[in-house]
Amino acid sequence: DPRHTVRVHLVRLQRRFLVVLADDLGEEQRVNAMRRDFIANVSHELKTPIAAIGLLSEAVHEAAAEPGTVRTFAKSLMKESKRLSELSRDIIQLSEAQSTLRPEDREPVSVRDLVRTEVEAHRTFAAQHGVEMVVTDAQDAERSSYVLGRPAALGVAVANLLSNAITHSPPGGRVGVGLEFEQRSVVVTITDQGEGIAPEHLPRIFERFYRVDDSRSRDGGGTGLGLSIARHTMRAHGGDIDVWSQPGVGSSFSLTFPLAEEAPAGAAKKKKKK
Ligand code: ADP
């Protein structure tokens, strides 16, 4: 019964929120208000797919004799449940990104490898959109790009920017992925030739659930959490995320990772050698 699955799902999410909330006891009221806002937003975002799944499964139940109708409803059911699972995945990623990074969570991560892996993982998605991805990593090819952090979370930050860039690109557009070294950091910049973001929206795009074009994004678009997850992750790692954008020209997002003091010798998994 899909409604049972939804209920189980909801209970898990609620537990997750309680943990997030419990963290807050004793903190300032402003923070509490933000959490309340967040939960109100989450409930709002969850309601639509959950209601749809409920109605659709009833409709499937009643239309069981007509294969054509069942098929149509089943397709909508698949879409709504996909949306729900993306939402719960993003909420979990956000709550992880917001938690403080303990020293034992950190392992050496090669930003260069991370970027390559994520670009490869997005090739099919880019091709579906008729978008070409171009990676530039000419500068300082010998320099170590190791940072200390959580590889999965850092991968998600890069992945979210890549998928946004591809999604917002026009067919035939190009997404540039560049790796540049600064004195103590490595900067990954992802540039697209999409519609760009108007200056009045720019400061708000990192907010949870903020979408520039609500109606368009909500229908088949993302959850509105991707940039928020990326920013929390980068800041938890002592880095940051920056954006430059011009409507009609495109957007450019940069991730700054503080480099590890010393590159790990030998295997990538080894901790820092003395
Ligand atoms: P979403 O799941 O909607 O993509 P994000 O947090 O990743 O959520 O992004 C928030 C909003 O910022 C998007 O809805 C979109 O309006 C805008 N945005 C993000 N990346 C780009 C981009 N590369 N080009 C244009 N607009 C973008």
Mean pLDDT taken over the chain: 87
Asked whether residue 197 carries a pLDDT value surpassing 70, the answer given is yes
Atom number, ligand 1, closest to the C-alpha of residue 227 = 6
This prediction has a pTM of: 0.82
Listing DSSP states for the chain in one string gives -HHHHHHHHHHHHHHHHHHHHHTTTTS-HHHHHHHHHHHHHHHHHHHHHHHHHHHHHHHHHHTTT-HHHHHHHHHHHHHHHHHHHHHHHHHHHHHHHHSPPPGGG-EEEEHHHHHHHHHHHTHHHHHHTT-EEEEE--TTTTS--EEEE-HHHHHHHHHHHHHHHHHTSPTT-EEEEEEEE-SSEEEEEEEE-S----TTTGGGTTSTT--SSHHHHHTTS--S-HHHHHHHHHHHTT-EEEEEEETTTEEEEEEEEEPPSSPPPSSTTSPPP-
Ligand 1 centroid to residue 164 C-alpha, Å: 6
pLDDT at 66: 78
- Index of the ligand 1 atom closest to the CA of residue 160: 7
Q: Is the pLDDT of residue 55 over 80?
A: yes
Question: What pLDDT, on a 0 to 100 scale, did the predictor assign at position 267?
Answer: 44
Mean pLDDT of 56-80: 85
pLDDT beyond 70 at 203: yes
- 174 or 266, higher pLDDT: 174
Site to probe by mutation for ligand 1, drawn from 129, 205, 214, 223 as the one with most ligand atoms within 8 Å of Cβ, is 205
- Between the CA of 227 and the centroid of ligand 1 the distance, in Å, is 7
Atom of ligand 1 nearest to the CA of 225: 6
Pocket of ligand 1 (CB under 6 A): 160, 164-165, 168, 192, 194-195, 197, 205, 210-213, 217, 221-228, 251
Q: Is the pLDDT of residue 57 over 70?
A: yes
